[in-house]
Structure 1
Amino acid sequence: MIKNKPEVLAPAGTMEKLKVAIDYGADAVYIGGDAYGLRSRAGNFSFAEMAEGAAYAHAHQAKVYVAANIVAHEGDIQGAGDYFRQVRDHHIDAVIVSDPSLIEIAITQAPGLAVHLSTQASATNWETLKFWQDLGLERIVLAREVGLDEIKEIRKHTDIEIEAFIHGAMCIGYSGRCVLSNHMGLRDANRGGCAQNCRWKYDLYEMPVLGDKTELLGENADGKVEDFSMSAVDMAMIEHIPELIEAGVNSLKIEGRMKTVHYVSTVSNVYHKAVSDYCADPVNYQLDEALVDELWKVAQREMSTGFYFNTPTADDELFGKRRKRPQFKFIGQVLAYDAQAQVVTVQQRNNFGIGDQIEFYGPNFTHYHQTVTELFDEDDLAIERAPHAMQVVHFNCPYPVQTGDFIRAQAIEKPARVQR
């Protein structure tokens, strides 16, 4: 049994996502406040909401961290001391900061508040980690560009806590230092306004010589122009949990504060089970392929191992024609279950109806499959489909589902994984 079990750290863009992440196995969540964060469009938390989220987390033996990781410009640090004191006094477990001025303010003006170094600070070597540790930081979130062998070397020389991203979107820029959003949309990515220009579709043109015609590149054999993209595939380290733990990573971080409860619940569930299984019996541990399949149910793009084992190649970018990805739909949440009548009451999140193949899933990796054969609205009237957002419906269900369980549509197809 592994004594130093790492935490699974999940994103929480809203209060609902915070509670869902914890219910589905996350040991900690990270959120944004009303200031100093890099997700201006996420459902950022007020101080009262921070207190509510912290109370829920602590009641479930989990922690809450607040991201305050902007690159500060002139005027951005005004009021930071009061902000960090409020965060501390509302029982948040730590703040995640990148700017040295904000780090100093948090340490000196909000004593007792733990400070973690954000990945935005691009820490990539053990000397840097010791520097920040000597200044009073408790944890370093490594840059995404750090490989597994480098993590092992860092651990040999330091005892500070290490946090590393192990799942989610990869940035085309060096640890979030892309300036495309500033250049093309006048939206400052490092102050919370990233337009995600790398996810846009682009046409690639050959640079013309004087007098020559500009030609559009990327035509396939049929004469059709393929989209050219700077979009990176996503990271997924589910197949390498033992290596991460043995390398000394203390916190396994999942990206995605702006993603759905479907994503947050599924990914938290998967990594919680993988970590628990390995730590319970590392000698006999084998990855359950069902965990890999589960991640494909919420995948937006192909998946790779990022920088952990090698420098990414063209295979880790979505150049040209978009490759296949899974087609799953999050359709509802269980509100109640009548075991005697075998009837489930559901709050709809996406259109579904009679004939659909559905899957119930819940914490601790419970799954049930069935076909919807009948459907009734709140007035007990038979209906063919539930097309209205948040509509409450009920139908027969022979499985012992639980309040809070989620429902998704059955897979249409499953893509091939990017092999490493």
Structure 2
Amino acid sequence: MHSIRSQGSLSIAEQSAGPTREEIRAPSAENTGMEIVAPAGTMAMVAAALQSGANSIYFGVENLNLRNQANGAFSLEDIDYVARKCHRFGAKAYLTMNSVIYDRDMKLAQTILTRAGSVGLDAVIASDPAVIELAREKGLSVHLSTQVSVSNLAAVRFWARYADVIVLARELDLSMIARIAEGIREQDIRGPSGERVRIEVFGHGALCIAVSGRCGMSLYSDLASANRGACRQNCRRKYRVIDERGVELEIDNEYIMSPNDICTLPFLNRVVDSGASMLKIEGRNRGADYVSNTVQVYREALQKAGQEDLAEFKDSIPDWMQRLEQVYHRGFSSGYYLGEKQGWAGSDGNQSPVRKVFLGEVSNYFSRLSVAEVTLRSGKLSRGQEVAFFGKTTGAHIQQISEIRQDNQPIESVSGPAIITVPVSNRVRRGDQFYLMDRLEVDGKAGEGTKGKRK
């Protein structure tokens, strides 16, 4: 039970008392030997990834990356902040510049890379030779993007002249990856840094129907190039097949170009054994709750996947999968890694039973009471529901609402607009966004779509 008699009664010092998440070093997955590379499309995602134990994050600025339409996209001025924040957590910051580059982009590319070099950014993820050359001129390490579609040891040997890390094509299976990793060790292939070239693979997230993401459908249909970060998601739409006579072909899955997400968790031990040293999580557009959940699960899984006795790892898989199903996904498959037939999404979007509904933002925080004042803009909130706070420093904090107060009186539910106070189990901050995590009752098991009703 909490009671606040004056919303403005606490001083700034009192409101700021106590340790913050920003000051607490995130747990590390380094003891597994594999680096978790987490996506960041917003500042809240940066914080959430680091707090959850990511070893590194990747992000893009301006419009020279393949997620330039991400909500809250980063600007040139954000590079320094992101790099410093990552380093404070003992993590690395990688700048993504893997889009197609035109002549008109070269001035901006030089500006971005000059800034990146001046703040000590750890690497640039690139595919265009001009960007690779510019990055090296600025003293920046290069990670070769999956857009280059490196698929064999000879290509690794060639690109090792320019890159210290190579993100392999997503179409390879684990045996192919293992042969490449073994060849790097046997031939002692080293990058510009003098260190042996490292291999990065995609561990979790969206899989594109196009080869390593090089798709032309958006450019054809909308004059918006997916290879310049303007994908219109044509492959995620429902299609009808009609012949020249107007007869429609009945098909079981009308989402005929939308693959399931990659999920390597059930066979993560085999990914570790393949010799890859970096595991990338895709999803810069998916939000802070997604990155927090996914990084935590894979960090736990990697710690157990590296053990000699895999019994604990195998026993934990059902729980980990259940947790992954609570955030955005299009159903899960092994991708191409196991040489199995690819699964198809069968729906137009999120198959998680949870939907985020914006309610308002935090207008005050009272640290002595662990209470947040929330300005409810719209929607309805009831005691016992699950909510989320997202913010630049807070990252992602999710909890159940144990109590709601309005005008210092306890209430069971409230509809916006309103000002309320709620107890919180972790510190939140003014300006943090406040969401209801609205849970659906899904017909059938998780991953079969979003048919159902709200609880």
TM-score (norm 1): 0.81
Take 2:275 and 2:322, find their aligned partners in 1: how far apart are those partners? Answer: 27
Deviations 1:89-146 (A, max 9, x none): 1221100001122212222x212x110000111111111111111x231101111111
2:355 corresponds to which of 307, 316, 329? 329
Deviations 1:153-207 (A, max 9, x none): 011111411111111111111111111000001101111211111112222112x
1:136-147 matches, within 5 Å, as 136-147=162-173
Take 2:35 and 2:60, find their aligned partners in 1: how far apart are those partners? Answer: 19
AA of the residue aligned to 1:303: F
Take 2:215 and 2:260, find their aligned partners in 1: how far apart are those partners? Answer: 16
Provide the residue aligned with 1:223 in structure 2: none
- CA positional deviation for 1:45: 2.3
Tell me, yes or no, if structure 1 residue 297 matches structure 2 residue 326.
Answer: yes
Provide the residue aligned with 2:121 in structure 1: 92
What CA RMSD, in Å, does the superposition of the two structures yield over aligned residues?
3.5
Take 2:166 and 2:85, find their aligned partners in 1: how far apart are those partners? Answer: 25
Provide the residue aligned with 1:415 in structure 2: 445
- CA positional deviation for 1:373: 6.3
Take 1:89 and 1:373, find their aligned partners in 2: how far apart are those partners? Answer: 47
Provide the residue aligned with 1:239 in structure 2: 266
AA of the residue aligned to 2:181: R
Provide the residue aligned with 1:37 in structure 2: 65
1:164 corresponds to which of 165, 187, 201? 201
Tell me, yes or no, if structure 1 residue 307 matches structure 2 residue 324.
Answer: no
* 2:286/2:328 contact within 8 Å kept: no
1:283-294 matches, within 5 Å, as 285-287=312-314, 288=316, 289-294=318-323
AA of the residue aligned to 1:216: E
Take 2:348 and 2:159, find their aligned partners in 1: how far apart are those partners? Answer: 42
Provide the residue aligned with 2:291 in structure 1: 264
What SS class does the counterpart of residue 306 from structure 1 fall into? coil
1:198 corresponds to which of 229, 235, 238? 235
Say if 1:349 and 1:139 are closer, same or farther in 2 by CA, change over 3 A. farther
* 1:204/1:217 contact within 8 Å kept: yes
AA of the residue aligned to 2:228: R
1:336-351 matches, within 5 Å, as 344-345=371-372, 351=379
* 2:383/2:404 contact within 8 Å kept: no
* 2:255/2:348 contact within 8 Å kept: no
* 2:236/2:348 contact within 8 Å kept: no
Tell me, yes or no, if structure 1 residue 214 matches structure 2 residue 233.
Answer: no
- CA positional deviation for 1:270: 1.1
* 1:29/1:65 contact within 8 Å kept: yes
- CA positional deviation for 1:409: 4.6
What SS class does the counterpart of residue 245 from structure 1 fall into? helix
2:427 corresponds to which of 394, 397, 403? 403
AA of the residue aligned to 2:53: G
Provide the residue aligned with 2:86 in structure 1: 57
Tell me, yes or no, if structure 1 residue 278 matches structure 2 residue 305.
Answer: yes
* 1:119/1:141 contact within 8 Å kept: yes
1:116 corresponds to which of 140, 143, 167? 143
Gaps of 5+ in 2: 1-28, 185-195, 391-396, 430-434, 449-455
Take 1:233 and 1:309, find their aligned partners in 2: how far apart are those partners? Answer: 15
Take 2:231 and 2:332, find their aligned partners in 1: how far apart are those partners? Answer: 22
Take 1:349 and 1:25, find their aligned partners in 2: how far apart are those partners? Answer: 33
What SS class does the counterpart of residue 412 from structure 1 fall into? strand
- CA positional deviation for 1:345: 3.0
Take 1:4 and 1:375, find their aligned partners in 2: how far apart are those partners? Answer: 43
Take 1:64 and 1:215, find their aligned partners in 2: how far apart are those partners? Answer: 53
Deviations 1:234-270 (A, max 9, x none): 1111112211112111111111111111111111111
Tell me, yes or no, if structure 1 residue 353 matches structure 2 residue 381.
Answer: yes
The number of residues matched between the two structures is 391
AA of the residue aligned to 1:56: K
Deviations 1:30-69 (A, max 9, x none): 0001242112212332333111111111111111101000
Take 1:255 and 1:350, find their aligned partners in 2: how far apart are those partners? Answer: 32
Take 1:100 and 1:45, find their aligned partners in 2: how far apart are those partners? Answer: 24
Provide the residue aligned with 1:180 in structure 2: 217
Take 2:127 and 2:91, find their aligned partners in 1: how far apart are those partners? Answer: 24
Gaps of 5+ in 1: 221-225
What SS class does the counterpart of residue 36 from structure 1 fall into? coil
Take 2:67 and 2:48, find their aligned partners in 1: how far apart are those partners? Answer: 20
